[in-house]
Amino acid sequence: MQKYDYLIVGSGLFGATFARKMVDSKKRVLVIDKREQIGGNCASKNVEGIDVHLYGAHIFHTDFEDVWQFINRFTKFNNFINTPIANYNGQLFCLPFNMHTFYALWGVKTPQEAEERLAKERAKFLHITEPKNLEEKALTLVGEEIYEILIKGYTEKQWGIKATELPAFIISRLPFRLSFDNNYFLDRYQGIPSDGYNKMFKNLLDGIEVKLGVDFFNNRAELTSLAKKVVFTGRIDEYFDYSLGELAYRSLKFETEILEKKNHQGVAVINYTDSITPYTRIIEHKHFRASDSSFNIDKTVVTKEYPAPFTKGSEPYYVVNDERNNNLANQYRELAKSEKNVIFGGRLAEYKYYDMDDIIKSGLDAVEKELSMD
């Protein structure tokens, strides 16, 4: 008889959600992670009294009531609202695209003036009725000027390919509105864990056996034999030993510095939207928690985020949901169906561009499905 009901590969948000819900249902679980810390890409760490997001800005936002109720068992959230700024060759604009952005660009002061200007901007692209790629989608939405200043450079740096080769849905993540509202996300709930992501994950995994620094693939047979089922949250192509070919990913490099000043950029996130600056964003971590006492210390921590090609050994931060990779991922999903005792979940195993709340939702659904088969 196996020691565990579930061996959970990965202590990110999918693995931690699955583990917690199963332990709530009296199941025996073991969580392993090849990294030395819990939390996957949401992990954070205290540096100089400031909570530093180790793998890029992570802002929690959701409209799912069940997800919000669930995650609030493990942390309170502060009232952070994401209001990023775009820096294009030294000029600053408000994001997401809203009346502040249109005023700064064109001097238009009312939604009607903005509508009229946008109609002119879009006029050249009316022939594109079904945008086939990100560039076409952006041009039909905002026209050429905004595309050049705020989208093209950022997007092509971020993905390392032409915007004409990217799927249109990626740009639909960037909101667009005719109001003076700089709040990036319109979800009902938004915030940053009041005591940091690390504490949130500690609470999620409280009382659960976790082994860090353990790579599933280094000891696959023995680890699998420990449990009735495996929950796998790593790369789906790696799980199948790349038998159908390799899926594409985009990687990142983070450069973090401690600066001897109180306030560096006045906001948590600035996007660099030109094509020359090698990084896409600078995050100043203390602004995620402006109401904390640590905000007043005379130091600050900033992280530059550089897009990077994915190579063996680097981290697969983003999946690339273009046609080729979606087709290949579908073929891997077919293979996955034959693995009766394995559940594939999370951004890498499902090969989907998921936000944190989608991941929790997917974890909660997976548990419900499992328990209904008991």
305 noted as active-site residue: yes
Q: Classify 280 as helix, strand or coil.
A: coil
How far is the CA of 108 from the CAs of 29, 84, 87, 98, 141, in angstroms?
58, 21, 20, 11, 17
Which entry of ligand UDP, ligand FAD, none binds 58, CB below 5 to 8 A by partner kind? ligand FAD
173 noted as active-site residue: yes
What 3 state SS string does 94-133 have? ECCECHHHHHHHHCCCCHHHHHHHHHHHHHCCCCCCCCCC
* Residue 72 Cβ vs ligand UDP, minimum distance, rounded to whole Å: 23
* Residue 234 Cβ vs ligand FAD, minimum distance, rounded to whole Å: 3
Structure tokens at 150: 């705020």
260 noted as active-site residue: no
* Residue 278 Cβ vs ligand FAD, minimum distance, rounded to whole Å: 16
* Residue 115 Cβ vs ligand UDP, minimum distance, rounded to whole Å: 22
Residue 162 within binding range of ligand UDP, rule CB under 6 A: no
DSSP labels, 213-231: S--GGGSHHHHHHTEEEEE
Q: Classify 233 as helix, strand or coil.
A: coil
Site string for ligand UDP, 215-234 (x = CB under 6 A): --------------------
Residue 346 within binding range of ligand FAD, rule CB under 6 A: yes
Which span sits near ligand FAD by CB under 6 A: 85-93, 104-112, 287-295, 346-354? Answer: 346-354
DSSP labels, 16-48: HHHHHHHHHTT--EEEEESSSSSSGGG-EEEET
Q: What is the DSSP letter of 277?
A: S
**CA R_g for the chain:** 22
Closest CA to 38 of 163, 170, 211: 211
Which entry of ligand FAD, ligand UDP, none binds 40, CB below 5 to 8 A by partner kind? ligand FAD
With 0-12 CB in 10 A as exposed, 13-18 as middle and 19+ as buried, what is 188? exposed
Site string for ligand FAD, 250-289 (x = CB under 6 A): --x-------------------------------------
289 noted as active-site residue: no
Identify the residue among 359, 364, 366, 367 touching ligand FAD (CB under 6 A). Answer: 359
Nearer Cβ to ligand FAD (33/274): 33
Give CA–CA dist 286/294, Å, rounded.
Answer: 8
Q: Classify 190 as helix, strand or coil.
A: strand
Site string for ligand FAD, 28-47 (x = CB under 6 A): ----xxxx----xxx-----
Which entry of ligand FAD, ligand UDP, none binds 98, CB below 5 to 8 A by partner kind? none
35 noted as active-site residue: no
Give CA–CA dist 162/153, Å, rounded.
Answer: 10
Residue 105 within binding range of ligand UDP, rule CB under 6 A: no
Q: Classify 271 as helix, strand or coil.
A: strand
Catalytic positions are 173, 177, 250, 281, 305, 353, 355
Residues binding ligand FAD (CB under 6 A) = 9-15, 32-35, 40-42, 55-60, 215-217, 233-234, 252, 317-318, 346-348, 354-357, 359
Residues binding ligand UDP (CB under 6 A) = 86, 95, 150-151, 154-155, 158, 170-171, 173-174, 271, 273
